Structure 1
Amino acid sequence: MTTTPLTSLEICAGAGGQALGLEAAGFEHACLVEIDPHAVNTLRLNRPEWNVIQADLRDFDATPYAGQIDLLAGGPPCQPFSHGGQQHGQHDDRDLFPEAIRLTRECQPQAVMLENVRGLLDPKFAEYRQYITGGFEALGYRVQWNLLNSSDHGVPQLRPRVILVALRPHLAPAFHWPEPSATPAPTVGQTLEDLMAAGGWAGAQAWAQGANTIAPTIVGGSKKHGGADLGPTRSKRAWAALGVNGHLLANEAPGPDHEGMPHLTVRMAARLQGFPDDWAFAGRKTASYRQVGNAFPPPVAAAVGAQIHRSIRAGQRQEALTAAI
């Protein structure tokens, strides 16, 4: 029996971290919506066959996709809930959770997956989380929240992410959150030694041996502050403990005569996020790094996406059995 591929509509698609993960999980993208021109160019550069729409999500209408989408997925902006920001939540003009609820009503997917920062679980947002949950429940979905550490799924940084999964009631019993990988995530040194040595730096091996833990969470994705560096003072201290100078990003790997702590390049940061090395980023260094800093690591998206994929397929099999009786 030929099985029709499951389809997804992705919002706030960014540079494609979640899209790559969902692709690996077996979803075909019917549409990806993103407002940032650099991220749009990144998506089109790497996957010219994808249907990428540059638009403000508030202006996007998902009604034409009604009945055609299995999964609505996306990462609404994290800054309204981030500990690194003001945490204005629903009062921040970047909050797009209400739009995600509206689009779900318009396209009526089988499932929804949204990711955000750990701050969304803070007690101060309890009422707002209930508003989000209630919005999806009113549309007929069963809602689950969970906090996943990216390092549990092979990504060499902690990067805790809050995940909302909303499923049609007949699919919810088959859904299970992904189990942590049996293999520990690689260290920063193991992940980046070859890139650090690419410019001829003789100290790369010794550096890698000292960078023997996973990375702190990569930050720096906000357009309202900062440039191409590794975040606030506390983040820079954590990077320094790994032998990395976090005050700026380098254009290239350290050369033969390099002395002192090396800087990361955008490519190194992207690898720490779980992007494949052949994934190119459009725009100059700061624009590229913001795309990396905002990304949902592909391996984590793949792990959750695979569980949603299994749940939908299980529901389809049950419907087929019921129809055959």
Structure 2
Amino acid sequence: MNAVELFVGAGGLGMAVSQAGFRPQLVVDWDRWACDTIRENRKAGLAPFTSWPLVEGDVRQIEFSNIRETIDLVTGGPPCQPFSMGGLHRAYLDERDMFPQAIRAVRELRPRAFVFENVKGLTRASFANYLEYIRLQLRHPELGAKSKETWHDHLIRLEDHETKGRYRGLHYNIVMRVLNAANYGVPQKRERVLIVGFRADTGIEWHFPNHTHSQDALLWSQWRTEEYWDRHKVAKRQRPKDAKGQARARKLAEQPQESPWLTVRDAISDLPDPELQPLLAKAYHDHRFQPGARSYEGHTGSPLDEPAKTLKAGVHGVPGGENMLRRADGSVRYFTVRESARLQTFPDEMLFHGSWSETMRQLGNAVPTKLAHVVVNKVHDSLRGNA
């Protein structure tokens, strides 16, 4: 089955698409640094980058009619700055809003399915009407805006069309949900909205995968069986004080069936501390100490024995101090690129191009590969069963 990946960035979602068994016919991003990351890994022979037909450029200039193969899946994470809590919150007024291009790709390529990802901020009440506008455009992609028609007038026309109940031409059945990556085995509390659609003529019934991991299971392993501390060889005197966590664990009537949330310690404990063990850290690619971390109200870093806070990109992430590890003694330091890649479940073999701040921007914008894999795998299985 064939796929097109838009706004690929560092490749978190794109890797999951390839690993699920789709063959990419086009991979697009405008960002030079992200494209250099992909090219560097392709040069190093790292799959699946070696097979990607990468185009560096503005998706608005892409002619999808040049693709001769039938496309089964379109995926991507349209730039999220218009909806991010750290951005200007301009949505449809923001020229960086690329959802119109995602919708154009669906209209012109007519894929059997699509998967689009964005920040949780897209679901805020202030964007409710625009989110519905996005949903209805994806549901009825051929019903495009007329010349000089405002988005609000177009929304009204789409609502009228939706309420008819009978549709001719291209239309999609859509499900949308906010997923927490920690609930799927990612060592990071990263909430993202996933929009999944299937072309109506496929007749596919689909729902999001069930959670596989939980906070309660982590608390059980920490404060009931203490298996977590034993596995990491953490003595009782070195364990953090977590009165709330212990109280919640005591209230659990039985052991949760899910796997425990993965923590920062789970993700990086085998790596030497780049600040305290700089010589040992040199043996690991992209694992260098970055000075300047400081803690202040609202930016206190990620505790070692919980999933990391959401890695961020831009001024509210890297220089702002949120992409930090908070050690048990309260001291903080920035996560290295390698540690951040692990928190995003990128493979250790993957290389990143650019300065520390530029690379952290790529990582802060990425979809955790493991979360993407869970969703895309299920889409692939549904399409294969429908073929």
Q: Same fold (TM over 0.5)?
A: yes
Which structure 2 residues correspond to residues 190-201 of structure 1 after superposition, within 5 A? Answer: 190-197=266-273, 201=277
**Alignment match, 2:376:** 305
Structure 2 Cα separation of the partners of residues 227 and 129 of structure 1: 25
Q: How far 1:197 moved relative to its partner? A: 4.2
Deviations along 1:274-308, whole A, 9 cap, x unmatched?
11111111112222111111100101111110111
Task: Give the alignment partner of residue 34 of structure 1, picking from 1, 25, 29.
Answer: 29
Residue 152 (str. 1) matches residue 154 (str. 2): no
Counterparts of 1:164 and 1:172 in 2: how far apart (Å)?
18
Q: Residue 86 of structure 1 aligns to a residue in which SS?
A: coil
Secondary structure at 2:269 match in 1 = helix
- Where relative contact order (Cα < 8 A, 6+ residues apart) is larger, the structure is 1
Find the aligned partners of 1:294 and 1:126 in 2 and give their Cα distance.
23
| Equivalent residue runs for 1:281-292 within 5 Å | 281-292=352-363
Q: Displacement of 1:199 after TM fit?
A: 7.5
Aligned match of 2:90:
88
Q: 2:262 aligns with which of 179, 186, 190?
A: 186
Partner of 1:268: 339
Write out per-residue CA displacement over residues 254-282 of structure 1, whole angstroms, 9 at most, x where no aligned residue: xxxxxx53431111111101111111111
Instruction: Name the CA shift for 1:292/1:240 in 2 (closer, same or farther; >3 Å).
Output: closer
Paired residues, number:
283
CA contact (8 A) 1:142 1:166 kept: yes
> Which amino acid is the alignment partner of residue 271 of structure 2?
L
Task: Find the aligned partners of 1:196 and 1:58 in 2 and give their Cα distance.
Answer: 44
Q: Identity of counterpart residues, as a percentage?
A: 35
Question: 2:73 is matched with which residue?
Answer: 71
State the partner residue of 2:113.
111
1:184 to partner: Cα distance: 2.3
Q: Secondary structure at the match of 1:292?
A: helix
In structure 2, relative to structure 1, the CA distance for the partners of 1:241 and 1:283 (3 Å cut) is closer
Q: Which residue of 1 aligns with 2:224?
A: none
Offset of residue 109 of structure 1: 0.8
Cα distance in 2 between the residues matched to 1:9 and 1:160: 24
SS of residue matched to 1:80: coil
Change (3 A) 1:66 1:118: farther
- TM-score normalised over the length of structure 1: 0.81
**Aligned-residue offset at 1:244:** 9.7
Higher mean displacement: 77-86 or 178-187: 178-187
Which letter maps to 1:141? Answer: Y
Q: Please list every run of 5 or more consecutive structure 1 residues that lacks an aligned counterpart in the other structure.
A: 1-5, 205-209, 246-259, 317-325
Change (3 A) 1:311 1:212: same
| Aligned counterpart, 1:320 | none
- Corresponding residue for residue 291 of structure 2: none
Does the 8 Å contact 1:14/1:36 carry over to 2? yes
Is the CA contact (8 Å cut-off) linking 2:263 and 2:305 kept in structure 1?
Answer: yes
Q: Deviations over 1:218-258 (max 9, x none)?
A: 002x4xx46844x46xx37xx5655599xxxxxxxxxxxxx
- Any conservation in 1 of the 2:11–2:366 contact (CA below 8 Å)? yes
Q: Select which of 11, 33, 37 maps to 2:6.
A: 11
Larger Rg: 2
CA contact (8 A) 2:312 2:318 kept: no
Structure 2 portions without partners, runs of 5+: 42-48, 142-170, 213-257, 281-302
RMSD: 2.3
* 2:308 match: 215
Say whether the 8 Å CA contact 2:346–2:369 is kept in structure 1: yes
Aligned to 2:55: 53
